[in-house]
Amino acid sequence: MTQIQQHLQLDAIDKRILTALQQDGRLSNVQLAEQVGLSESACLRRVRLLEKTAIIDRYVMLIDQTAIGKPGTVFVRVTLEGQQQEKLQRFEKAIGKVQEVMECYLMSGDSDYLLRIIVRDNEDYMRIHNRLTGLPEVLRVQSSFALKTVLKKTELPLDESSR
């Protein structure tokens, strides 16, 4: 979080703007202003401030992974040979080059990293698995195939009453 983000308090209108844009990032400023109850110029100023402070990180399009031929999801726990900073950095640099890795988290607990990988099928995963085991500092790779996606969200909760 940047220093500007720490000082910017989101009010109800900011939250409505963020919620609307999370639901449809292609809304025009005119549509957004109407939806949140602001003038177009006031709405644009607020959106630009949310962008400037990096509260709005970026705009993306979500693609259905099944539609592009990668219906499988595999969660992979990776254990490194050690946890020295240079080993972590080498692994993190290398894992960023594996396109099928959609998310990578440094973890506490039994393994060092948790990855979410998308795959065509088991054979496709075997190819990726072989690549993972060859990455710098990798000691062990443990894989779990997702059988079914029960819940997958992209919208961050902004309403404090939902806590």
- At 57 the pLDDT is 96
Could you tell me the fold of the domain covering 72-145?
Alpha-Beta Plaits (3.30.70)
Q: pTM to 2 decimals?
A: 0.85
Token pair, residue 76, equals 């992979």
pLDDT tens series, the chain, 163 aa: 454 445 568 999 999 999 999 999 999 999 999 999 999 999 999 999 999 999 999 999 999 999 999 999 999 999 999 999 999 999 999 999 999 999 999 999 999 999 999 999 999 999 999 999 999 999 999 999 999 999 999 999 997 654 4
Long-range residue pairs from 23-29, CB within 8 A, at least 24 positions apart, any chain? 23/155, 25/59, 25/60, 25/61
Q: Which residues pair with 101 in a beta bridge?
A: 117
For domain 3-52, the question of CATH label 1.10.10.10 is answered with yes
- At 9 the pLDDT is 86
In the chain, where the domains are located: 3-52, 72-145
